[in-house]
Structure 1
């Protein structure tokens, strides 16, 4: 093991997002601090990218369509403000990155996901 792997094993907590796969529909619950109060915000969408595995800088990109506008949010895997992650659907997809979903309508996305489940 090199020095980076030793450091990560010793100091990095287990990420809550490490088991997620691209194509899954997830709901990520994140603690938001507003002034002296904290609340939990849920972000539900499709995982379109997973970068750098479970390293210190690893991230996942979650995309949803809200009121006809596409919204993407990048979550670091080891972010301490993430409370939990619910997996809603876990279809099998044939791509490592689903960036092509940015150009598709929601109807076309559902059709693609349904075909990959069969």
Structure 2
């Protein structure tokens, strides 16, 4: 690891942000600090992660949602001070790293399968019960 990567890792540790593990296809709720004049409030932005960019301190991700029948995308910097929290609502089962094809789709064709946690096999469950 070179000097710059070491400094970035120290800076990430110093920030102390708790970023959950998420990947493209997951539905997330990003709580963003919004300043309107003198007031400061938290705005929730819920949507599907269509892209993730892992670059240490410069990491970012793009979230897409449908608002009033119109597709809206927003790119967030992962370690930005404007992000109050990130919550994973649903895990998506996709086979691509970038889901840009969802931009051309709408309705049922834009749905993403849910990734289910693997279940114990019946033999393992029986031995665990005993």
TM-score for both structures, normalised by structure 1: 0.87
User: Could you say which residue in structure 1 is the equivalent of 2:25?
Assistant: 23
Q: State how many pairs are aligned.
A: 114
Secondary structure class of the residue paired with 1:101? helix
Which shows bigger deviation, 75-84 or 5-14? Answer: 5-14
Q: Can you list the C-alpha shifts for 1:47-103, whole angstroms capped at 9, x where unaligned?
A: 00001x151211100000111111000000111121111211102210000000000
What residue in structure 1 maps to residue 93 of structure 2? 92
Any idea what SS the aligned residue of 1:56 has?
Answer: helix
For structure 2, which runs of at least 5 residues remain unmatched after alignment? 117-130
The alignment's TM-score, normalised by the length of structure 2, stands at 0.79
Q: Which residue of 2 aligns with 1:10?
A: 10
Task: Compare CA radii of gyration and give the structure with the larger one.
Answer: 2
Q: Which is further off, 18-27 or 98-107? A: 18-27
* CA RMSD in angstroms, aligned pairs only: 1.8
Cα 1:49/1:75, change in 2 over 3 Å: same
